[in-house]
Structure 1
Amino acid sequence: MRVLAAMSGGVDSAVAAARAVDAGHEVVGVHMALSRSRAQHRNGSRGCCSIEDAGDARRAADVLGIPYYVWDLSEEFEETVVADFLSEYEAGRTPNPCVRCNEHIKFSALLDRGLALGFDAVVTGHYAQIVEVPDGAGGTRRELHRAADPAKDQSYVLAVMGAHRLARSMFPLGAAPSKEAVRAEAATRGLSVSAKPDSYDICFVADGDTQGFLRDRLGARPGEVVDADGRVLGQHDGAYSYTVGQRKGLGLTRPAADGRPRYVLEVRPQTNQVVVGPSELLTVDELHADQTVWLADDVPAGEWVDAEVQVRAHGEPVAASVRRARSGRTDGTDGGAEGALEARLSVPLRGIAPGQSLVVYAGTRVLGQSTIVSARRGAALRAV
């Protein structure tokens, strides 16, 4: 097959491209330039897709003996991932930009452009597994599963890709036993990135100051900090700087009457208010979500099914009963986007914010993904 290898400049994508070459595919390496500033430099393990990363990707491609190109996707990245990040915080939600980057850039702009150029698939260095199983009709279907190494599993941020794009994706590192094993393989292959530190945090906020980034882009918007009964407790410079579950940085000068710490319970963009209260009000056991992308067409809609849900990239999955709406398209032309999804948790969770990604699992298999709209305390919790 002719495959397009997404090469970030890191060790994972370099080894993934190398394994695709070993498998006999015709591989072309592509580095995605996502920053509008061509002078942007990497700051240690913060940030990615910098000028240094492009150079590292080129050197890896040279070692592998494959063609290499840089594609400027900075406009698409700014107009989708960064714009979504800002609008979500502005609307009082807490987004996951890695999910949106996979949706709009790596498995939309990159894959769709590659298919248009005659490539058969895209290979990336993500840690997840694609498993082919009989579909009951004489054929097979592709399932997305967790990686063999739980510590590196990235299926949570890949669930949004949809069945159509899953069919054209390859994840050669899914069965890798550990990141250390991948680094050792890179060193054996003579790849200079074998000891390069992993990138983390938000790539376009390279200094790690998310609140500073939001202030620079959205400006000061003073408003009130109130309790659950609407009493004014203090002031803030922008409700977008707060997220559900936050304890520090509330700027309150008066302690609660009972002396206990306060947490952000809700962000209300309509009134520019931040609602704070005691920690027990953060505990929820019912989640409502929308913009569902469903990967498992063999799991029926409209019925409650037993599953597990995960609400953070490195969070622990919890058992739940899940029901998704019957409406929506599943042919993959729109990524499999559907409608509402409900989850009743067997174990309550704390600090769940609108905008977070909710991923549904059956064991290691990813069933689908949805975006949380609201989190509630069900009857059992309200009675406590």
Structure 2
Amino acid sequence: MEKYDVIILGAGAAGLMCAARAGQKGLRVAVLEKAEKPGKKILISGGGRCNFTNVNAGAGNFLSDNPHFAKSALARYTARDFIDLVKRHEIAFHEKTLGQLFCDGSAMQIVQMLLDECPEENVDVICDAEVTAVEHKGGQFAVMASEQMYSSPKLVIATGGPSIPKMGATGFAYDLARQFGLKVVEPRPALVPLTLGGDDVLFRELSGVSAPVTARAGAGKKKAEFAEAALFTHRGLSGPAILQISSYWRSGEEIGIKFLPEADAEWLIGLKKDYPRANLRTVLRHHLPDRLADALADRIGLETEFSNVPDKDLRSAGAQLADWRFSPNGTEGFAKAEVTIGGISTAELSSQTMEAKKVPGLYAIGEAVDVTGWLGGYNFQWAWASGVACGEALA
């Protein structure tokens, strides 16, 4: 039996960050990873360049049953802290839209940085180690992984959620949490394309068409809107704006799309005065891709010149374009979801240390926990922040 001060399950973003901090504190750490190499999700992120954080990251960019839970960790380890780490390792990076930071080179640089941060004499990253049993007796956790037994007084769950199963993702973290009596908030796909059916199915004929929109979903405190691009696909809707609102959408609800985000409520009436011989189709073609413009014009049905259209009809058309209602019949599921909403309930954990309140020595971090960020580097920032909070507390 191999004995350690800490066993971390999962060599992803949160697990490696936690291991680095714990190892730097002098603890002997085993990181057990079932894949053949560490950081597989990091490597595919951001098109292979890793959108490793967002300069705007704050608690307001995260969803959770307890929206206050993430505040402590995020405040103690900020995007600036991680940027400073990247700079110390001389990794070149650039900012894209909306505060998103990417490596100039490869996501492998981030994985290597995390491994380099783990003191070689203290941290063992053990791959091809699939956990088959975990027991807790006499203040010690015993973990069986690939026919090897590991023992430690502290165990960290950092195995993520079930999104992107082709990368080996599973709901293992939730099964383990339930084994120890911890509640799990029902997991569902997040940052995921939405599928269309029924009357909306005709919009799937626009597959490949993209346009800037404002997308809205949710209700009450869970309501949100995002002004980014939407993409029509052969199954429904995707693109950054749709991925963002998918985290707020629930089955059976509608979503609203504003197709011309800059237009006000009276814009068509104003055009009628300036261009009385124009019609809706030609105007929409001036602002939107032709196929999308034609589809919207066909459904609104105003084919005559503006001079022959009553103001109330133009106002109605403008209102429809400002809040076009879609009724998604589902999502493309965990296979296409970038992350998972839900997970180990934050009510079970200390927001300061990530330790389970009921089970001393048991911790949960990263995507395994019911904290989910927006698209654009926010989920990595939660991984870094929760990993640091836990790693510091382990010593």
**Fold match (TM-score > 0.5):** no
Larger radius of gyration: 2
Return the structure number with greater helix share.
Answer: 2
Which of structures 1 and 2 has the larger relative contact order (alpha carbons within 8 angstroms, sep 6+)?
2
The normalised TM-score by structure 2 is: 0.27
The normalised TM-score by structure 1 is: 0.28
